Amino acid sequence: MDLTCLTIEQVHKGLVEKNFSAVEICSAFLKKIDSLDKNIKAFLTITPHLALSQAKKVDEKISRKQEISLLAGVPCSVKDNILVKDVKCTAGSKILENYIAPYDATIIKWLKKQDIVILGKTNLDEFAMGASTENSAFFPTHNPNDLERVPGGSSGGSAAAVVANMCVYAFGSDTFGSIRQPASFCGIVGLKPSYGAVSRYGLIAMASSLDQIGPLTKNVRDAEIVFDAIRRKDPKDSTNAILCKNVAEKAPEINNLKIGVPKEYFIKGIDKDVEKIVRNAINKFEKAGAKIVEISLPHTKYAVASYYIATPCEVSANLARYDGIKYGLSKLEANSLEKLYFETRGQGFGDEVRRRIMIGSYALSAGYYDAYYLKAQKIKTLVRNDFDHAFEKVDVILVPVAPTPAFKIGEKTDDPLSMYLCDVFTGPANLAGICAISVPAGKIGNLPVGLQIIGKSFKEKVILEVGKMFESL
Amino acid sequence: MNFNMISKEKIKHIAQLAKLYLTSEEEEKLQKEISSILDYIEQLSQVDTTNVEPASQFLSEIFDSQESVLTREDKIKRQDTDVVDNLFKMAPETKGKSFKVKPIFGENRGKE
State how far residue B3 is from chain A, nearest Cα, in angstroms.
16
One-character DSSP codes across A187-255:
TSEEEEPPTTSS--TTBPPS-TTT-EEEEEESSHHHHHHHHHHH----TT-TT----HHHHTPPPPPGG
Note the pLDDT tens digit of each residue in A7-46: 999 999 999 999 999 999 999 999 999 999 999 999 999 9
One-character DSSP codes across B50-82:
TTPPPGGGHHHHHS-TTT--SS------PPPHH
Whether B110 has its CB under 8 Å from any CB of chain A: the answer is yes
The answer to whether the CB of A96 falls within 8 A of the CB of A353 is no
Phi-psi region of A457 (alpha: psi -120 to 50; beta: other; left: phi over 0): beta
- The residue among A239 and A160 whose pLDDT is bigger is A160
* Residue in A461, A464, A465 with CA at minimum distance from that of residue A249: A461
Supply the Cα-derived Rg of chain B in whole angstroms.
23
Q: What three-state secondary structure class fits A432?
A: helix
Q: Do B63 and A196 touch (CB under 8 A)?
A: yes
* Residue in B68, B63, B8, B53 with CA at minimum distance from that of residue B34: B8
Pairwise CA distance, residues A457 & A96, whole Å: 34
Q: Decide: residue A436, CB within 10 A, 0-12 exposed, 13-18 middle, 19+ buried.
A: buried
Amino acid at residue number B68: S
Query: What burial letters (b/e) apply to A358-370, b meaning 16+ CB within 10 Å?
Result: bbbbbbbbeeeee
Residue A405 is given by DSSP the state S
Mutation target vs B (from A95, A301, A358, A386; most B CBs, 10 A cutoff): A358
What is the rounded average pLDDT for all residues in chain B?
A: 82
Helix A375-390 / helix A303-318 crossing angle, nearest 10 deg: 130
Pairwise CA distance, residues A453 & A439, whole Å: 8
Q: What three-state secondary structure class fits A434?
A: coil
- pLDDT, position A421: 86
* Residue in A234, A243, A251, A147 with CA at minimum distance from that of residue A198: A234
Q: Decide: residue A425, CB within 10 A, 0-12 exposed, 13-18 middle, 19+ buried.
A: buried
State how far residue A390 is from chain B, nearest Cα, in angstroms.
17
* Residue in A175, A178, A251, A176 with CA at minimum distance from that of residue A216: A178
State the Cα angle at A421 between A452 and A212, rounded to 5°. Answer: 55
- pLDDT, position B65: 47
What's the pLDDT band for A243 if we cut at 50, 70, 90?
low
Measured between CB atoms, which of B10, B54, B59 is closest to A378? B54
What residues in A contact B107, CB-CB < 8 Å?
none
* Residue in A66, A64, A57 with CA at minimum distance from that of residue A22: A57
Note the pLDDT tens digit of each residue in A309-363: 999 999 999 999 999 999 999 998 888 999 999 999 999 999 999 999 999 999 9
Beta bridge partners of A449: A442
Q: Identify the weakest region by mean pLDDT among A113-122, A258-267, B78-87.
A: B78-87
- The residue among A246 and A58 whose pLDDT is bigger is A58
* Residue in A147, A152, A120, A116 with CA at minimum distance from that of residue A136: A152
> How far from A417 is each of A13, A401, B10, CA to CA, in Å?
47, 18, 21
The answer to whether the CB of A158 falls within 8 A of the CB of A182 is yes
Whether B32 has its CB under 8 Å from any CB of chain A: the answer is no
Q: Decide: residue A5, CB within 10 A, 0-12 exposed, 13-18 middle, 19+ buried.
A: exposed
Residues of A classed as catalytic: 79, 154, 178
Pairwise CA distance, residues A420 & A216, whole Å: 22
- pLDDT, position A286: 97
Note the pLDDT tens digit of each residue in A433-471: 999 999 999 999 999 999 999 999 889 999 999 999 999
Please give the residue of chain A at the shortest CA–CA distance from B19: A342
pLDDT at A247 over 80: no
State how far residue B90 is from chain A, nearest Cα, in angstroms.
5
Run of H or E residues at A169:
strand A169-174
Beta bridge partners of A149: A408
Q: A360 CB contacts (<8 Å, ≥6 apart)? A: A311, A312, A313, A314, A315, A316, A317
What's the pLDDT band for B60 if we cut at 50, 70, 90?
low
Dihedral Cα A165, A171, A172, A173, nearest 10 deg? 170
Pairwise CA distance, residues A116 & A1, whole Å: 22
Please give the residue of chain A at the shortest CA–CA distance from B106: A336
Note the pLDDT tens digit of each residue in A81-92: 999 999 999 999
Whether B74 has its CB under 8 Å from any CB of chain A: the answer is no
The answer to whether the CB of A33 falls within 8 A of the CB of A120 is yes
Q: How many CB atoms lie within 10 A of CB A183?
A: 38
What residues in B contact A345, CB-CB < 8 Å?
18-21
State how far residue A445 is from chain B, nearest Cα, in angstroms.
34
What residues in B contact A433, CB-CB < 8 Å?
58, 62
Note the pLDDT tens digit of each residue in A183-224: 999 999 999 999 988 999 999 999 998 999 999 999 999 999
Q: Look up the pTM and report it.
A: 0.95
Pairwise CA distance, residues A437 & A451, whole Å: 8
Measured between CB atoms, which of A194, A326, A359 is closest to B37? A359
- Interface confidence (ipTM) of the complex: 0.88
